[in-house]
Amino acid sequence: MHLGLGAFARAHTAVFTENAMLKSGDHSWGIAGVTQRSRTVARQLAPQDGLFTVSERGAGAAPLRVVSSITEAISGTDDPDAVVERISASTTALVTLTITEKGYRINPRTGGLDTTDTQIEADLTGQPPQTAIGQTVRGLQRRSARDAGPVTVLSCDNLPANGELTHRLVQEFAAALPRPEADPLCRWIEANVTFPNTMVDRMVPATTPADLDAVEDELGLRDEGAVVAEPFLQWVIEDHFAARRPRWEDAGAVFTQDVAPWEAAKLQLLNASHSMLAYLGMAAGKATISESVAEDAFLAACRRMMAEEVLTTISTPDQLDADAYCAQILSRFANPALGHTTAKVGSDGSQKIGPRLLSTVRDNLAAGREPRWAALAVAAWMQHVASTPAPQLDDPLATTLHEILPANRTATTVIPALLGCRTIFDEQLATQPVFTALLTHWYSIIDTHGLEGLRNEINHG
């Protein structure tokens, strides 16, 4: 079962699974994919029996490939019971998730499940579940009733300790059910389900109509479910499975006891720089990440954040050459054929700023250093929020953020207002004078001097 059948899942999880089957000769796997909010992908894939094309872009791109590991595409909105049913089937060994940060319904104050979320509340009442956590728990509940055996729930989203987080959210949902259901279910989950942590990596932009036309020209078939991706792909998985799994290691996945250092490197080096390039790029009118990283000042800001603020505070995996990893990230960003837009990477900033940038800010402050570059990225996000009208702001908190913003938007009014958003910044960080001063400094430069101001400040400051 896969929850969150977006472009990423098709270009990553489905490809790894097919490669594992091809390499290992164990062809017994198939993925039932579930779309969450939008039905589009289920509608696109169902008439083509789940088949879809991966079109790699950039140096080293493989020829077009049609992937066959998705055997079913279900709309979770239209058919939530089918989702519960598949999760509870004894033939299901894995529930994988790519539901994006906002799909988890986290209460940022507690780090646990947001039980005030209206859809979580509705799912708890016993109606057919619409949220991924609700669907997972209801599936596990039916599974326990049927005695269908152990299963692994594998989160593949860019969140720190994604497996532990999912475990907590699942247990909190189960515990919030009426007592007679909750107690046995929580015990069954503890005894039968594991939640390994993972680190996933592949840049997968949203497929455009032009991409579909290009695939059609080359393939000779119209594929509505085609996806575009960079050639690079990586998966690091904690080796803690409750049931059988595809031999993903045969497809190059790395199994380890400790994913945390991989995850920190990925989130705080790659995703943090990606977000920085997205917001700086949008401020400077750059449509794509490759155009943004082509701006020397922005490239320098990424390099300096990585070297001065991230590599000085995280411990990287022993097997990883950190300098080579950073250089590779920047060259992947520069891939001109990918067309990864700054708008897409910059979407859902309220969900991404925390996991990507704020530990770097905190760790540097704790070490007595100024988090100059991470603060630049946060300031650029703030400027993006303040300069984008609410209806155009692609963020689940768009309305909330605009409600707290003042009418007169300058550095000294916007920064305290946004720092007051407790779902993103805790009290301690929001009142930290060094951080506030850095944000004010960078925000003013972006807002009043634009690209020229940024160039001067980054190159000579």
Report the interface residues with ligand CS2, using CB under 6 A: 158, 201-203, 271, 274, 344-345, 352
Distance CA 397, CA 421 (A): 10
CB of 203 to ligand CS2, least distance (A): 4
CB of 204 to ligand CS2, least distance (A): 7
Give every CB contact of residue 165 below 8 A, 6+ residues apart in sequence.
104, 106, 111, 155, 159
CB of 17 to ligand CS2, least distance (A): 17
> Which runs of E-coded beta strand occur in 300-387?
none
Q: Which is nearer to ligand CS2, 143 or 352 (CB)?
A: 352
SS3 208: coil
Q: Are 83 and 135 in contact (CB under 8 A)?
A: yes
CA distances 166 to 185, 193, 397, Å, are: 16, 11, 22
Token pair, residue 318, equals 């022993």
Query: Please, what sign has the CA dihedral across residues 182, 155, 35, 74?
Result: negative
Number of residue whose CB is nearest ligand CS2: 274
CB of 395 to ligand CS2, least distance (A): 12
CB of 195 to ligand CS2, least distance (A): 20
Q: What secondary structure does DSSP assign to 373-427, as a single string?
A: HHHHHHHHHHHHHHHS-GGG--STTHHHHHHHS-SS--HHHHHHHHHT-TTTS-H
CB of 4 to ligand CS2, least distance (A): 13
What is the residue type of 67?
Answer: V
Q: Which is nearer to ligand CS2, 138 or 266 (CB)?
A: 266
Q: Which is nearer to ligand CS2, 158 or 192 (CB)?
A: 158
Distance CA 50, CA 20 (A): 18
What is the residue type of 352?
Answer: K
Q: Which is nearer to ligand CS2, 32 or 236 (CB)?
A: 236
Q: Which is nearer to ligand CS2, 185 or 237 (CB)?
A: 237
Q: Which is nearer to ligand CS2, 344 or 402 (CB)?
A: 344
Q: Which is nearer to ligand CS2, 33 or 346 (CB)?
A: 346
CB of 319 to ligand CS2, least distance (A): 18
Token pair, residue 450, equals 């634009």
CB of 368 to ligand CS2, least distance (A): 30
Q: Which is nearer to ligand CS2, 142 or 303 (CB)?
A: 303
SS3 29: coil
Distance CA 68, CA 50 (A): 7
Q: Work out the number of other CB atoms within 10 angstroms of the CB of residue 362.
A: 18
Closest by alpha carbon to 359, among 267, 451, 249? 267
